[in-house]
Structure 1
């Protein structure tokens, strides 16, 4: 409740009612372009984005956090919120996320997951599986390859996928399983990575909802529709997100 109160005060500190979006940390690099494209189509619409692990954002929404839209890293949390009456819309897929194995040494050839068992990889970063979809998928990959028991003692956990990537970038971890989207920055362009086979983990179908708070917010519906547009999907694809399969 304390978090929800603080977030509420933050929103009230700004004049007017900005569209407030709770977004998975894997969207941090792409959101500025999505915001700019949305504003171009809908002038005068202020947007505020709060990033975090999807599970934690979902908990904040249940506790009354003033978010109008929730952009999750998978379908699980929007589906739970809808089932608990915290959503004004059904979960809507907007992208497919991809996982990569990333090494901090730009001079090293790309790793394959099996090499994580090597003793030269002392610390391996993944997002916390309890509340981060990318962490859940990372664990599934390691389990599918029968690596979990070997590498578990060497795992270090980020609270969200952005923090996990920062661990690798800073050298706090030698390698990490992170969101492909977070490698699309000039600072990280020289880092090597290996795209993880999607067959090794459950689908990373990213879904969104309009929350109960956003139900009467016209801008929330506009942004929801924008995220399903060809313009938004073209931007998402530039950052490693794939289009969801059509029904």
Structure 2
């Protein structure tokens, strides 16, 4: 169960990450009573090295994820100790770094002090996000959560209006990668996009299967790329 002050660290591509050098830190933001999560502060930072067979952790010769670096499932990187009062008298959260997780990570990278600094920058960024959200909550009180919901609803309406302007139909495109660096190829990338009013279905069924080289796209990366492409086309 998440507590005020907790932060979760991960880079596992099969659990929402991208590639291993991208470390994501997610921190829940609770209401003043600490009973309900109202929002999340999150950031993703590309780290110069997370171990593995190749310096930089992006090796063209890798044939399995274990050669690419340390794989981190969602772990508690900051441990919340509850709410407290900051030096300025404002509400704050009390937490501490999970030193065991940090030690394990730093023992498996080539530049541990650089990684330590970048990770502390990530925790500081989320702490700032948490603090500024509470500033908004102090200014606007109970009006803030409904305003957040209204903003998301407005965003959906604008996106659906932009999608409705696109012609209905099925659109297909196919391209190829020459190879994966391990003698496999060409590799087909095929997409079919079906537009029906404000609904869009994107199908990669005819794309090549997983290949030996480090070119595979996990679900999180694929979905993110689709969202980005649609956003660029519609620009709502």
TM-score (norm 2): 0.23
More strand per residue: 2
- Give the structure, 1 or 2, with the largest relative contact order (CA under 8 Å, sep 6 or more): 1
When Rg is computed on C-alpha atoms for both structures, the one with the higher figure is 2
More helix per residue: 1
